[in-house]
Amino acid sequence: MKSQKQPSTFTLLRGYMGNKGALLPFSVTLSALGSLIGMIPFVCVWLIIRLLFTQGVTASGSEIVRYAWWAFGFSILFIVFYFTALMLSHLAAFRLERNLRYSAMQKAVRMPLGFFTKNTTGKMRKVIDDNAGIVHTFVAHQLPDLAGGVAVFAATFVLMFVFDWRFGLACLIPLVVAFAQFYMMMGRNYATTMQQYMTSLEAMNTEAVEYVRGIPVVKVFQQTVYSFKRFYDSIMGYNRWVKEYAASMRRSMSVYTVAINGFAFLLVPLAIILIAMGGNWQQVSLNLIFYALITPFFGQCIMKLMYVIDGYRQAGEAVMRIEAMTDEKQQLTTLRPLPMPTAYDIRFNDVSFRYDGAPKDALSHIDLLIPQGKTVALVGASGSGKTTLARLVARFWDAGRGEVSIGGVDAKQIHPDELMRHISFVFQNTELFKTSIRDNILYGKPDAMPEEIGRAIELAQCREIIDKLPGGLDTKIGTEGIYLSGGEQQRVALARAFLKDAPVVLLDEATAFADPENEQEIQRALRRLMRGKTVVMIAHRLTSVTDADTIVVMDEGRIAEQGTHPQLLQKEGVYRRMWDEYQQSVRWAIKKETKHA
């Protein structure tokens, strides 16, 4: 079976331009015509020089003025043509950039929640926002420049042999050398080089965004050196790549620069030889001046071509990366959609799951029943599979093997949107939007009445927070308003969960970043939130799960043991050992040494 041919970069870009794509041919044509018109002033200058050279002081002043006005007029015409070409290309580029971002974000919002745990906000911003800007630059500037550069190069090449074929042949030598070096720099391996460049730049930008956003946590836990290491490593990785690439291009770029600017080193000696061999010194000198005026166009054209090829490869790589990140194959498929069940017990039936690229399963052969209205706590070491198990309930990902069911219905048969309406999340990393507190709470239930919001605020122990704010519920969060502490943010998130009033609740270290005062309030609110709900709770502090109906101990992706707190303490096992270690850590204290005289 033949593999499907990958569409060209131009085909991909044209698809995102919509009806504005029709402007691009006009832009390219105007740019080519404008660039040809832009050569005429140089010809006019040469005509003035020829007039002065041949007639001297007897040259007609009116003819010189006429040539000067022609040069001025064609310069203005060139500006008009080029400005119009860029205006048309920018209209197409802005539509392309808008559609590219809009399409990527439309696909992103349909991705499973696991997509956002794998792709950080910094990476998404780099891939979608920055790459869309790269594509815009290519279409708006470099495509018109390509048309103009090709037109000028062709015209210059023709003129090179029209005036004097001997000078034309001499000009071919540096051109051939320049193109040979151009091919060495921009040849077959350049596509791989561009991929490496984009990957290195993407990694550095991603780490930069994540580092800046995490500075508050870094300062709180005094982890500046360790948190900076990944950012520093990405910078040094990019630095090494750039230095190695620049060093590899050093010889080719040096030879190219000398060749493309070295026409005079051949033209001047040739002119001397031609005059010495009996040529008309005036005609030879005028031809030499003409070639001195037009040969710099070659350098400009080839440099534009280098930028266009570079931009074309970057644009192609940028579009591919955007489409790869938001590939619709990553979206969850809902087989034979069924309505949300009326019962909310959760069952894992021989469930196994492995992350993409991981060497082994994160979960292996999990069998577990969580009865409706009961609380199950998941405990275990980091990496034991607690979070993965809980998130399979909400279809962050779909189980690779086995079945996760809610109320007897396979979760794969429940549409993710419908499933989300019946599940509330309270995670350790609280996400609040840069808008008012009221709007943040209303995300739980957009059509909620004011009295419902008030009740959710009371249940989440948020009233004291809101009362001390200058704008109350309408106070904005973020740079345009105020900043909340980690515990305060968590209580606002709890108010959102109370307002949603979903029958299934997932709690993942909900008090991790709370100070002691906020933790007490959050624990009180959590007990109210869990009342009558089917709850899956993840916790590292074992004292917070002692009242759970069932405690499930995870160990390397498997269920090591389960039972109530008293039952698990009665037998030697993983939980008993974890509890003893936890109690020992609680009793730790720093003893003050007493000096005796």
83: CATH? 1.20.1560.10
- Residue 219 counted as domain residue: yes
Tell me what pLDDT residue 2 has: 41
> Residue 112 belongs to what domain range?
9-330
The side-by-side arrangement of strands in the sheet containing 409-410 is 363-370, 346-353, 401-406, 409-410
- Residue 39 counted as domain residue: yes
pLDDT band for position 226 (cuts 50, 70, 90): low
CA distance 408 to 199: 45
Tokens (6 digits) for 138? 């290519």
CA distance 233 to 45: 55
CA distance 554 to 36: 73
Which residue, among 321, 385, 375, has the nearest Cα to 529 in the 3D structure? 375
Distance of alpha carbon 140 from the chain centroid: 21
The answer for residues whose C-beta is within 8 angstroms of residue 444's C-beta and 6 or more apart is: 424, 456, 495, 496, 497, 498, 499, 500
Average of per-residue pLDDT values in the chain: 81
- Residue 201 counted as domain residue: yes
597 burial (CB, 10 Å; 0-12 / 13-18 / 19+) is exposed
SS3 for 503? coil
Look at phi and psi of residue 383 and say left if phi exceeds 0, alpha if psi is from -120 to 50, else beta.
left
Which pTM value belongs to this model? 0.65
- Residue 567 counted as domain residue: no
Phi and psi at residue 171, to the nearest 5° = -70, -25
CA distances from 252 to 215, 242, 249, 314 (A): 44, 16, 5, 21
- Residue 290 counted as domain residue: yes
Tell me what pLDDT residue 514 has: 56
Domain total in the chain:
1
**Residue 591 scores a pLDDT above 80:** no
CA distance 579 to 336: 45
State mean pLDDT over 290-308.
79
The side-by-side arrangement of strands in the sheet containing 375-380 is 423-427, 504-508, 534-538, 375-380, 550-555, 558-563
pLDDT band for position 122 (cuts 50, 70, 90): low
Distance of alpha carbon 123 from the chain centroid: 4
Length of the chain: 597
Tell me what pLDDT residue 84 has: 94
- Residue 326 counted as domain residue: yes
**Residue 348 scores a pLDDT above 90:** yes
Identify the bridge partners of residue 347 per DSSP, sorted by sequence position.
Answer: 369, 405
SS3 for 553? strand
- Residue 593 counted as domain residue: no
CA distance 500 to 422: 8
CA distance 548 to 544: 9
Nearest-10 Cα torsion for 500, 503, 509, 512: 30
Cα-based angle 176, 180, 181 (whole degrees, multiple of 5): 120
- Residue 483 is classified by DSSP as -
Question: 456-512, pLDDT tens digit by residue?
Answer: 888 888 888 888 888 888 888 877 777 787 778 888 888 888 888 889 988 887 655
- Residue 185 counted as domain residue: yes
CA distance 525 to 537: 14
Question: 19-51, pLDDT tens digit by residue?
Answer: 888 898 999 999 999 989 988 888 888 888 878
Tell me what pLDDT residue 210 has: 65
Contact 522, 459 (CB under 8 A): no
